[in-house]
Structure 1
Amino acid sequence: MHRRVITYSRNAFLPLTTVCANRCGYCCFRTPVREGCIMPPGEVLRTMEVSAELGCTEALFTFGERPGAVPGFTAMLERIGYTDILDYVYDLSLAAIRLGLLPHTNAGILSYLELDRLRAVNASMGLMLETTAEVAAHRDSPGKKPGVRIEMIENAGKLSIPFTTGILVGIGETMEDREESFQVIRDLHRRFGHIQEVIVQNFRPKPGTPMEGTPTPETSELCATIALAREILPSDVAVQIPPNLADASHLIGCGVDDLGGVSPLTIDYVNPERPWPEIEELKRVAGDAELRERLCIYPQYIEKGWYSPLLEPLIRQLAERIRKAEPG
Structure 2
Amino acid sequence: MQSLTYIPDFQIVLTRRCAFDCGYCNFRRTATPVLPSKKQIVRLMQTARRLGAREITLVGGEGIAHLQEIVSTARYYGFASWFDYVKFVCETILDAGGPQQGRRPLLPRLEMGPVSLTDLVKLKPFLPVMTLLIHSADDGLQSRPAHAHAPQKTLSQRLAALELPGQLGIPTITGIMVGIGEERGSWERAAQAVTNLNKRMGHIQNFVIRPFYPLPYSAMAKQAPVSDEVLIDAVGVVRGVLDKKIMLTVELQHRPHLAAAAAKAGADDLGRFFLGDSDRLHFEMPESIEKMIADARAEGIEITERMPLTDNFIRRRELPQAVSMALARCRQGNDGKDGSSGHLEAIGM
- TM score, norm. by length of structure 2: 0.82
The aligned residue for residue 136 of structure 2 is: 131
Question: Which AA in structure 2 matches 1:17?
Answer: T
Greater mean deviation of Cα atoms: 143-152 or 242-251: 242-251
Contact 2:275 2:282 in 1 (8 A): no
Percent of counterpart pairs with the same letter? 25
Contact 2:176 2:187 in 1 (8 A): yes
Contact 2:253 2:274 in 1 (8 A): no
| DSSP-derived class of the 2:27 partner | coil
* 1:262-301 correspondence runs (5 A): 262-266=273-277, 276=285, 278-284=288-294, 286-287=296-297, 288-301=300-313
The aligned residue for residue 321 of structure 2 is: 309
In structure 1, how many angstroms separate the alpha carbons of the residues matched to 2:215 and 2:273?
A: 21
The aligned residue for residue 187 of structure 1 is: 196
The aligned residue for residue 41 of structure 1 is: 38
Cα deviation for residue 139 of structure 1 reads 1.9
The aligned residue for residue 258 of structure 2 is: 248
1:44-67 per-position Cα deviation (integer Å, ceiling 9, x unaligned) = 211112322443331211111122
Cα deviation for residue 252 of structure 1 reads 3.5
Contact 1:138 1:144 in 2 (8 A): yes
Contact 2:24 2:218 in 1 (8 A): yes
Q: Rate the CA distance shift 1:30–1:81 in 2: closer, same or farther, 3 A.
A: farther
Is 1:9 matched with 2:7?
yes
* 1:179-218 correspondence runs (5 A): 179-218=188-227
Greater mean deviation of Cα atoms: 172-181 or 260-269: 260-269
Contact 1:58 1:103 in 2 (8 A): yes
Greater mean deviation of Cα atoms: 249-258 or 68-77: 68-77
Contact 1:268 1:275 in 2 (8 A): no
| DSSP-derived class of the 1:138 partner | coil
Cα deviation for residue 248 of structure 1 reads 2.8
Question: Which AA in structure 1 matches 2:108?
Answer: P
Cα deviation for residue 322 of structure 1 reads 6.1
| Structure 2 residues not aligned, in runs of 5+ | 98-105, 338-349
1:111-170 per-position Cα deviation (integer Å, ceiling 9, x unaligned) = 122222212101111101111222122121233232221112122222212110110111
Please provide the CA RMSD for this pair: 2.8
In structure 1, how many angstroms separate the alpha carbons of the residues matched to 2:325 and 2:69?
A: 40
Contact 1:18 1:64 in 2 (8 A): yes
In structure 1, how many angstroms separate the alpha carbons of the residues matched to 2:155 and 2:220?
A: 20
1:56 to 53, 56, 60: 53
Question: Which AA in structure 1 matches 2:268?
Answer: D
- TM score, norm. by length of structure 1: 0.87
Contact 2:74 2:85 in 1 (8 A): no
| Structure 1 residues not aligned, in runs of 5+ | none
1:83-110 per-position Cα deviation (integer Å, ceiling 9, x unaligned) = 5221111011111011122221112111
In structure 2, how many angstroms separate the alpha carbons of the residues matched to 1:86 and 1:119?
A: 11
Cα deviation for residue 320 of structure 1 reads 4.2
Contact 2:65 2:83 in 1 (8 A): no
The aligned residue for residue 236 of structure 2 is: 227
Q: Rate the CA distance shift 1:72–1:314 in 2: closer, same or farther, 3 A.
A: closer
Contact 1:65 1:143 in 2 (8 A): no
| DSSP-derived class of the 2:10 partner | strand
The aligned residue for residue 85 of structure 1 is: 82
Q: Rate the CA distance shift 1:211–1:56 in 2: closer, same or farther, 3 A.
A: closer
| DSSP-derived class of the 1:304 partner | coil
Greater mean deviation of Cα atoms: 134-143 or 73-82: 73-82
Contact 2:44 2:278 in 1 (8 A): no
Contact 2:130 2:172 in 1 (8 A): yes
